[in-house]
Amino acid sequence: MTSTTTAGAQHGTTGTHQTTARRRPPATAVVAIGLTVLAAVVGGYGACYFTGLDGWTPISETFVVTYLAFSVFGLAVVGSMVFGSGSLRSAARYGLATYGVWMIGFTAFKLVRFSEYQAIPFGIVGLAILVLSLSRPTRSWAN
């Protein structure tokens, strides 16, 4: 948002002064960003730690690398939401939604394949990230 004011009206001189105002993110965006950071950091650490407890096999290494890659993706999206502007922030909003969908899919896989009910909180967080990233206030702010 850019506004042009007459400097003469403010200071008794002539000329114009241009200011750029930065809008604050809505609560929906702040919560979605916070949940994404929490899920990426805590989930990434947990993937490494708990998988390592069972011993390292080629499939467990593949799981950890894949999970960490998605965690890095989530953190990169958060960086784009926080520090980006314009089309970058708009694209990052879709990245947040993608991260939420991935977490929901990951939870569904863990429930179906391993009956691992401990994954349900990650699915709930993923659903919250998805809903918050697609909400009207986040959409208006990011576009």
In the chain, where are the structural domains located? 25-142
Q: Tokens 């809903």 map to which residue?
A: 131
> Which pTM does this prediction carry?
0.80
> 5-9, 97-101, 118-122, 135-139 — which is least confidently predicted?
5-9
Q: Given this model, what pLDDT does residue 18 score?
A: 47
Task: From 104, 103, 78, select the one nearest 91 (Cα to Cα).
Answer: 78
pLDDT at residue 63 tops 60:
yes
Largest CA distance in the chain: 75
Which is it for strands 2-6 and 16-20: parallel, antiparallel or unpaired? Answer: antiparallel
Q: What is the DSSP letter of 134?
A: T
Average pLDDT over every residue of 30-39: 96
Q: Which two tokens stand for residue 90?
A: 């708009």
Average pLDDT over every residue of 84-89: 90
